[in-house]
Amino acid sequence: MSYLRGVEVSPSFPPFAALRDYFGFVPYIYRLQTLVPHLIEAEAELARAVLVEDGALSRIRKESILLAVAAANRNLYCVAKHYQTLQLLGVPERQAAQLLGGYRQAGLSQADEALLDFAIKLAGEGHCISQQDLAGLGAHGLTDEALLEVILVTAWANFLCTLSVGLGAKPDFESPEIPNQVLERSHAIDTIEPNRGPFLRSGPDDDKTFAFFREEIGFVPNLFRAQTLRPEALTAEAGMVRVILLKDDLLNRVQKERILLVVSAVNCNAYCVAVHSEILGNLGIATEHTDQVALDYRQANLSVADEALLDFARKLASAPAQFSGSDVESLRSHGFRDEQVLEAVAMTAFTNFLNTVQFGLGAKPDFAPRLVLRPAAKIPHLSGSESRPTEREGPPDPDAESVAKVQRGDLDAFEELILRHSKRVYRTLIGILGNPDDAQDAMQDTFLKAFQHLAGFEGRSKFSTWLTSIASNTGLQRLRERKPMESLDDDAADQDGGFRPRQIRAWTENPEQLYSRTERRSLVEDTVMKLPAKYRVVVVLRDMEQLSTEETAAALGLGIPAVKSRLIRGRMMVREALAPHFLDSAKGVAT
């Protein structure tokens, strides 16, 4: 039994061979995904990295965690699978059965009991995990490497549970009975405090996947920076991000980001909500809209199909026991193909994975969360306008009419948009690339990309804001291709505090009178060109293009604090460079 159609795949399909190697058979859950073979490939890699690779924890310990979490989630498919695997690994059936609920009476070592307690809490109530929980495990002699593995295995257990429910996978083996247990889920807290971690030390703040994250999403989320102790897991997770999230051929990217957002909100994971709000912002979706989707997508003016997609993901994530084939039918009735349904299931499961990892690691927010998420009412139904997030009703978008014309097929209207916005796009690009020829070249790419994606532009942000984000992403991509060393994402230097002004002599009263405007312009241009890219771009966007701090942050995929600190550094560097030209000769040193 399963909900989706499958296709025949050769038994020698490499991921199947690998899975046979890891488990002794190809679990049904993977065979159900043959419509999108890349998924199987990426999942097999993550299974290998999390489960099979030698690490600090033995395979039996990892499979024990998987079984205990599956039993706590009351997932028959996963229970049967892990129960069988443990026995294949030589664990007596009686011992495996004790992991199904009565492990506290099973005479496990204190460390193993604490480990399972932790995993079950993390899997079911991740938002309640604190530094103390990890310190408690540390006291049992578990190293940070081991703790990272526990977290990854628990996240993987949640992934498999969600996936199996969404696919309607029937167990590969007869499932043992899961005893009815009263789980102690009483960690009632009102508000989630997202900024508590990180709980574990991380390895070197560098990894071969960092370049991938910078390229694809504009920055390296702290969630991944916190996992450098296990580089092979990072590589596999990056593979999942690539295959599940970034591909645009089945569900589109915005639909997938929305699933991430809604499922993270249901799980009360403020960290992931903030990251994906930022990313949606970079894709041209206005903050107000994103907040509304996270809080209550039914009030967000989505299409009926998009709303159905989020109903599906939310139910799968928050009420798996009620999920059934009729939910899949409902998506089909809204025009979704089986490949897309499969992707929605994988996206939901992977969100649960990422949320669980973040809860376990307490990764620090990359962006200040704007929303307060409450576990008591996971999806608050807002009433009236008072409880809506702050409305920022700006004036109507002056480009709306031209945009609509282009969307209706009027190509000439696009030329108007180019002419109207060429200056802004050029400035953005020169700020990033620091070179007029490159900037003009990248301008073409920017407008071509904008044209390609204009059909999906829903007018939730201004066209000019949306276009600036595209320009910024285009510029950043080129910058990375050209100078891998010159990164906008290196925040070490923001914190060094080593910048001390050297020029502390007074300036003349009217510096503008000393040089003509043309002279001043070339002085400023020369100075700004010499700034490191990370400072140059904020100075150009903020002080020349005169975007707001928020707009600058959104365009660059940076947090507001990062924009502010880079802006002050950038301005101070410009001040130092300009000072010799504008000093007041009448006054001496002012110290």
Instruction: Tell me which residues touch another protein (CB under 8 A).
Output: 411, 414-415, 418-419, 422-423, 426-427, 430-431, 440, 443-444, 447-448, 451, 501, 503-507, 511-512, 517, 520-521, 523-525, 528, 539-540, 543-544, 546, 549, 564-565, 567-568, 571-572, 574-575, 578-579, 582, 590-591
C-beta of 515: minimal distance to another protein in Å?
A: 9
- HSE of 527, CA atoms in CB hemisphere, 13 A: 20
Of residues 391, 316, 327, the one with CA closest to residue 352: 316
The residue (of 373 and 567) whose beta carbon lies closer to another protein is: 567
Report which of 251, 243, 246 is spatially closest to residue 334, judged by C-alpha positions.
251
Nearer to another protein, 400 or 448 (CB): 448
Nearer to another protein, 304 or 589 (CB): 589
Q: How far is the CB of 291 from another protein (least distance, A)?
A: 22
Nearest-approach distance from CB 520 to another protein, in angstroms: 5
CB of 539 to another protein, least distance (A): 7
State which residue, 415 or 486, has the beta carbon closest to another protein. Answer: 415
Which amino acid would we find at residue 554? A
Of 9 and 579, CB closest to another protein: 579
Q: Which is nearer to another protein, 151 or 539 (CB)?
A: 539
Query: Is the Cβ–Cβ distance between 587 and 506 less than 8 Å?
Result: yes
Q: Please identify which residue in the block is written with the tokens 């040089």.
A: 515
User: Closest approach of Cβ 259 to another protein, in Å?
Assistant: 27
- Distance in angstroms (rounded) separating the CA atoms of residues 264 and 245: 15
CB of 536 to another protein, least distance (A): 10
Residues 6+ apart with CB under 8 A from 321: 74
Question: How crowded is residue 561: how many other Cβ atoms within 10 Å of its Cβ?
Answer: 14
By beta-carbon proximity to another protein, the closer residue of 8 and 412 is: 412
Identity of the residue, 98 or 565, whose beta carbon is nearer to another protein in the bound complex: 565
> Nearer to another protein by C-beta: 4 or 425?
425
Angle made by CA atoms 369, 130, 235, in degrees to the nearest 5? 70
Q: How far is the CB of 207 from another protein (least distance, A)?
A: 32
For residue 329 the two structure tokens come to: 């039918």
d(CA 194, CA 206): 24
Q: Which neighbouring-strand residues pair with 583?
A: 507
Q: Residue 394, exposed/middle/buried by CB under 10 A (0-12, 13-18, 19+)? A: exposed
Place of tokens 């097999």: 44
Give 59-81 as a 3 state SS string. HHHHHHHHHHHHHHCCCHHHHHH
Considering beta carbons, is residue 426 or 463 the nearer one to another protein? 426
Minimum distance from residue 287 beta carbon to another protein (Å): 18
| Least distance from another protein to the Cβ atom of residue 104, Å | 54
| Shorter beta-carbon distance to another protein: residue 298 or 449 | 449
**Residue 403 beta carbon to another protein: minimum distance, rounded to whole angstroms:** 15
Residue 540 CB, nearest distance to another protein (Å)?
7
What is the rounded CA–CA span in Å between residue 206 and residue 347?
Answer: 27
DSSP 216-251: HHSS--HHHHTTTT-HHHHHHHHHHIIIIII--SSS
β partners of residue 589: 505
Q: Which is nearer to another protein, 54 or 412 (CB)?
A: 412
Residue 583 phi, psi dihedral angles, 5° rounding: -65, 150
CB of 126 within 8 A of CB of 359? yes
| Closer to another protein by Cβ: residue 299 or 440 | 440
Residue 176: name the closest of 73, 81, 59 by CA. Answer: 81
Q: In 99-194, which residue ranges form alpha helices assigned H by DSSP?
A: 110-125, 131-139, 144-167
Minimum distance of another protein from residue 542's CB (angstroms): 9
Task: Give me the half-sphere count of Cα atoms (radius 13 Å) on the Cβ side of residue 383.
Answer: 0
Q: Which is nearer to another protein, 214 or 427 (CB)?
A: 427
In the complex, least distance from residue 571 CB atom to another protein, rounded to whole angstroms: 6
CB-wise, 21 or 512, nearer to another protein?
512
**How far apart are the C-alpha atoms of 355 and 332, rounded to whole Å?**
28
Sequence-distant (6+) residues with CB within 8 A of 363 are: 197, 198, 221, 222, 223, 225, 226, 271, 357
Q: Which helix (H) or strand (E) holds 440?
A: helix 436-453
Phi-psi region of 424 (alpha: psi -120 to 50; beta: other; left: phi over 0): alpha
Q: How far is the CB of 433 from another protein (least distance, A)?
A: 11
Report the nearest approach of another protein to the CB of residue 545 (Å). Answer: 9
Report the distance separating Cα 561 and Cα 399, nearest Å: 30
Please confirm whether the linkage preceding 501 is cis (ω < 30° from 0).
Answer: no
Q: What Å distances lie between residue 31 and 46, 167, 485, 503, CA to CA?
A: 16, 10, 43, 68
